[in-house]
Amino acid sequence: MSRVPSKRRLLLYVVGVVLGLLVLAQLLLPGIAADRIRSRVERYGKVASVSVSAWPAVKLLWGDADSVHVRAAALALPTGRVAPLLHEAQGIDTLTFRAESVRLGGLRLTAVSLQKQGKRLRAQGRASAADVQAALPPGVSVQLLGSRDGEVEVRASGGLFGLSASLDAVAQASGGRLVVHPSGLLLGGFALTLYSDPRVSVTGVSAVAGGGQPPGYLLSVTALLR
């Protein structure tokens, strides 16, 4: 006669332990995940804040999260590290990243933002005319001609594609890559790949000349995580 109450008490005890562990996980795991993200990003500069939200929080153990928000001061990272870092965030439903400045390879950007919704990515940042010039090879200058339909058209002067002259070129997404090729029929078939990584597929780029001090450009990129 005592077995039924005993089994019932055991079941209640197990349920209580499980609920207790879930509550504990909900309290602790988001903070632990935020610390891990902070440590990853701090390899490249100063991080102001990181917040993580997940329900239930145990899914953080598998790298999934509802939302992550990161604010940073100044970061500097090689272009080859961008795709791996973004690929690590594939389990995050909504990601918001903002930084005062990011040096990406040789190009310095300010007022940088990145939004991720599902697999869709959109990043933008401002580059001053001086920062753009500093990122170009010696003797090369670039003038923005226009931007539409996910493409950017520029006029390059100096040494480009093995020529010492001025020519118009178009930067665009092609098969997930970011490529640039001369405008016109004669050299239109020649393309130089600026970015290619199967983990992050570029879908479009844009550039807008902006006012402000110093003068510069608002650059935007859209992409998909694979």
Averaged pLDDT for residues 85-94: 94
For range 6-35, the mean pLDDT: 75
**Spatial distance between the Cα atoms of 54 and 224, rounded to a whole number of angstroms:** 22
Q: Is the pLDDT of residue 68 over 80?
A: yes
Q: What angle do CA 179, 104, 221 make, to 5 degrees?
A: 45
Distance CA 154, CA 146 (A): 7
pLDDT, residue 4, reads 54
Q: When comparing pLDDT for 134 and 9, which is higher?
A: 134
103 and 200 Cβ atoms separated by less than 8 Å: no
Mean pLDDT of 8-35: 74
CA-based Rg of the chain, rounded to a whole angstrom? 24
121-163 per-position pLDDT tens digit: 999 999 999 999 998 888 888 899 999 999 999 988 876 555 5
Tell me what pLDDT residue 164 has. 67
Contact 123, 202 (CB under 8 A): no
What pLDDT is stored for residue 1 in this prediction? 46
Confidence of residue 89 (pLDDT cuts 50, 70, 90): very high
Residues 167-188, mean pLDDT to the nearest whole number? 82
Q: Which pLDDT score, from 0 to 100, does residue 16 have?
A: 67
Which amino acid does the sequence have at 156? Answer: A
pLDDT at 120: 97
Q: Give the start-to-end residue ranges of the domains of the chain.
A: 121-226
**Average pLDDT rounded to a whole number, residues 84-112:** 94
Query: What per-residue confidence (pLDDT) applies to 191?
Result: 79
CB 125 within 8 A of CB 106: no
pLDDT higher at 99 or 189: 99
